[in-house]
């Protein structure tokens, strides 16, 4: 058997650089890296040796680098991914939040944190966490609950099994998620005689599991018996590439479709059977059909509480729940009748099984009434000194958008408002990280989207709170020459949670700067800050000025930042649904006691 002598780190990176997807592209597009003493000598040298064929990128924060990688995989519909490496200790721990984000959203990313010495000779090393009760413990054990596959590499030859397992996990449609290979720093530098065959390029095909015939017949029978069915489109529709199959299925049987945050843009907004966003941040059109539905057909959704209105949305006592999902865990949730299969294949086979069946037409006029109610909220305001609302900002961005625009966000006020109001014209035009709703994902995520689809017009919507949490990758975008637009809405604090605080009876406290325990109200010049990191930036004072600034974005090379002050209080009053947020049972404040009474009443609708 022919062998080649390489360090463990060299072998890892050489192996990863030749793994392919079905389109012949390198499955892992490259590696993000911040070097420290735990990875610079081993992994750093290995990456340098491949720099002309397999790129390494440098970010400013380990968490945000991982966010970029995750956004890339999401926009690529999981057909490609990226690796991220860090040093030991704090650098590694910075990636744990991103690992949880990827785990919740079922998105592939390969995390390679450096680890302590397997040989333990120099223990305790710089940044090593010591446990008096477990000599094998390191901070990297924090990755275990947020990884779909975890391995600690303490011998070079362990990579012969660990790397194929990592690739299998990332490319398995049911098990897909973050993989952590905790790489002991002394092992990275150890040499081994590797079989040359280990580095033969390999194609990883993403399987499309077919449904069980008994399950298929059972679900077809439920659809035939339904009088008011509704389809809930989740993120799995995108990952399966099932958007066209979903449209064909809905049209064939005249079934209304509603969209989760992850599923939005599965159908164009103006498709006759797209009844809009569902749940807590949903449209009245979508929630009305869900309330009366006798069959809820989830396609690629994990039935998060924002989708189900904390399981109080589906009010028909005779309703049946069906879940088409490639993951058995998700297909069985809440007693659903499972159809465990790839979404595209399942929809195609269900359509064939149903033959000439036709469902009763959905109620007329619901979509028209919804848009009649909310469209005025997004219109440009007349003359006046009032601060613009987030709805008006969304309207300005919508009017400036193009067919190839991708609007993206993750946390704060904008996710709810965009879910309700954004009109996505095509698949992939809406990118929302709302599985974990991670503040700080936005700018790093925009980089990932732009790397995935360079020709798309990417618009990142971020509030001042999220921007303050993680803005450093703006400098990375400038250094890489990536052109996208960031709209920063400055409501001077955490406006979204302030409204939730008020809505649950609480006094305004510690969310907006005006109600925080501070001596001086901050006057943060976000435009100057972004410019200092290399962006072209401008602050505008009105919706008209925002529209004018957006119209200039095609002339800007590199990241472009537009800042606008907004009113922290208004939200879209139409649509929506109750969301269970526990209200104190005992309080001296009458507002809290009243909110508790409402809370207990709403809980009675849960099923």
Is pLDDT of 383 > 80? no
End-to-end CA distance of the chain: 62
Strand partners, 181: 151
The CATH class of 213-364 is: alpha beta
| CATH architecture of the domain with range 383-565 | 3-Layer(aba) Sandwich (3.40)
Average pLDDT in the 383-398 region?
93
Band the pLDDT of 251: cuts 50, 70, 90: very high
For residue 126, pLDDT over 80 is answered with yes
Q: What is the mean pLDDT of the chain?
A: 97
Give 543-553 pLDDT, tens digit per residue: 999 999 999 99
Is residue 505 within 8 Å of residue 543, measured between CB atoms?
no
> Would you call 164 exposed, middle or buried from its count of C-beta atoms within 10 A (0-12, 13-18, 19+)?
middle
pLDDT in tens, 99-111: 999 999 999 999 9
Domain ranges of the chain: 3-203, 213-364, 383-565
Residue 64: CB partners within 8 Å, gap ≥ 6?
98, 440, 443, 444, 470, 472, 473
pTM of the predicted model as reported, rounded to 2 decimal places = 0.98
Confidence class of residue 449 from pLDDT cuts 50, 70 and 90? very high
CATH number of 3-203: 3.40.50.970
Q: By percentage, how much of the chain surpasses pLDDT 70?
A: 100
312: left (phi over 0), alpha (psi -120 to 50) or beta: alpha
pLDDT score at 337: 97
Tell me how far apart the alpha carbons of residues 575 and 344 are, in angstroms, rounded to a whole number.
30
Given a cut of 80, is residue 277 above it in pLDDT? yes
Query: pLDDT tens-digit profile of 193-212?
Result: 999 999 999 999 999 999 99
Identical topology for domains 213-364 and 383-565? yes
- pLDDT attached to residue 1: 86
Token pair, residue 303, equals 């039935």
Instruction: Please determine, for residue 470, whether its predicted confidence score (pLDDT) is greater than 80.
Output: yes
pLDDT digits (tens, 9 = 90+) for 60-86: 999 999 999 999 999 999 999 999 999
pLDDT bin (cut points 50, 70, 90) of residue 385 is confident
pLDDT for the residue numbered 436: 97
- The pLDDT, as a whole number, for residue 346 is 98
Distance CA 61, CA 86 (A): 10
What's the whole-number mean pLDDT along residues 253-258? Answer: 98
């Amino acid at each position: 058997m022919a062998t080649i002598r390489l360090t463990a780190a060299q072998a890892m990176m050489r192996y990863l650089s030749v793994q392919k997807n079905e389109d012949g592209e390198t499955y892992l597009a490259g590696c993000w890296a911040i070097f420290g003493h735990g990875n610079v000598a081993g992994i750093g040298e290995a990456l340098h040796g491949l720099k002309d064929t397999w790129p390494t990128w440098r970010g400013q924060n380990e968490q945000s680098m991982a966010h970029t990688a995750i956004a890339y995989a999401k926009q690529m519909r999981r057909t490609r991914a990226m690796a991220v490496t860090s040093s030991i200790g704090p650098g590694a721990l910075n990636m744990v939040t991103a690992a949880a984000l990827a785990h919740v959203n079922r998105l592939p990313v390969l995390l390679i944190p450096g680890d302590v010495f397997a040989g333990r000779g120099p223990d305790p090393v710089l940044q090593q966490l010591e446990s008096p009760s477990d000599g094998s413990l390191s901070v990297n054990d924090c990755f275990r609950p947020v990884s779909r596959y975890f391995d600690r590499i303490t011998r070079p030859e362990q990579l012969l099994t660990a790397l194929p397992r990592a690739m299998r996990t990332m490319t398995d449609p049911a098990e897909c998620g973050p993989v952590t290979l905790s790489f002991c720093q002394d092992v990275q530098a150890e040499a081994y005689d590797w079989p040359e065959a280990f580095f033969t390029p390999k194609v990883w095909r993403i399987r499309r599991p077919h449904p069980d015939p008994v399950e298929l017949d059972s679900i077809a029978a439920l659809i035939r018996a339904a009088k008011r069915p509704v389809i809930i489109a989740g993120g799995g529709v995108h990952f399966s590439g099932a958007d066209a199959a979903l449209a064909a299925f809905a049209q064939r049987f005249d079934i209304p479709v509603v969209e989760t945050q992850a599923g939005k843009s599965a159908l164009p907004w103006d498709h006759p059977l797209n009844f809009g966003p569902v749940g807590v941040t949903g449209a009245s059109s979508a929630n009305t059909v869900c309330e009366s539905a006798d069959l809820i057909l989830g396609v690629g959704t994990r039935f998060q509480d924002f989708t189900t209105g904390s399981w109080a949305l589906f009010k028909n006592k005779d309703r049946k729940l069906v879940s088409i999902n490639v993951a058995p865990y998700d297909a069985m949730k809440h007693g659903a009748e499972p159809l465990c299969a790839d979404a595209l294949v399942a929809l195609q086979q269900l359509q064939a099984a149903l033959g000439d069946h036709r469902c009763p037409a959905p109620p007329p006029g619901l979509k028209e009434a919804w848009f009649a109610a909310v469209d005025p909220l997004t219109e440009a305001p007349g003359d006046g000194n009032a601060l613009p609302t987030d709805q008006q900002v969304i309207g300005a961005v919508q009017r400036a958008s193009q067919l190839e625009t991708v609007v993206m966000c993750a946390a704060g006020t904008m996710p709810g408002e965009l879910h309700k109001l954004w009109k996505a014209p095509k698949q992939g035009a809406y990118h929302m990280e709302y599985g974990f709703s991670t503040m700080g994902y936005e700018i790093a995520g925009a980089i990932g989207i732009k790397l995935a689809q360079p020709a798309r017009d990417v618009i990142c919507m971020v509030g001042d709170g999220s921007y303050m949490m993680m803005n450093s990758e703006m400098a990375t975008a400038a250094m890489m020459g990536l052109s996208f637009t960031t709209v920063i809405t400055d409501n001077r604090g955490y406006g979204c949670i302030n409204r939730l605080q008020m809505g649950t009876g609480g006094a305004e406290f510690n969310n907006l700067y005006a109600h925080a325990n501070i001596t001086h109200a901050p006057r943060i010049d976000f435009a100057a800050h972004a410019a200092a990191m290399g962006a072209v930036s401008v602050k505008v004072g009105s919706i008209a000025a925002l529209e004018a600034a957006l119209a200039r974005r095609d002339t800007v090379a590199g990241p472009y930042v537009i800042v606008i002050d907004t009113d922290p209080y208004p939200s879209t009053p139409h649509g929506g649904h109750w969301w269970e947020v526990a209200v104190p049972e005992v309080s001296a404040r009458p507002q809290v006691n009243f909110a508790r009474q409402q809370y207990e009443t709403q809980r009675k609708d849960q099923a």
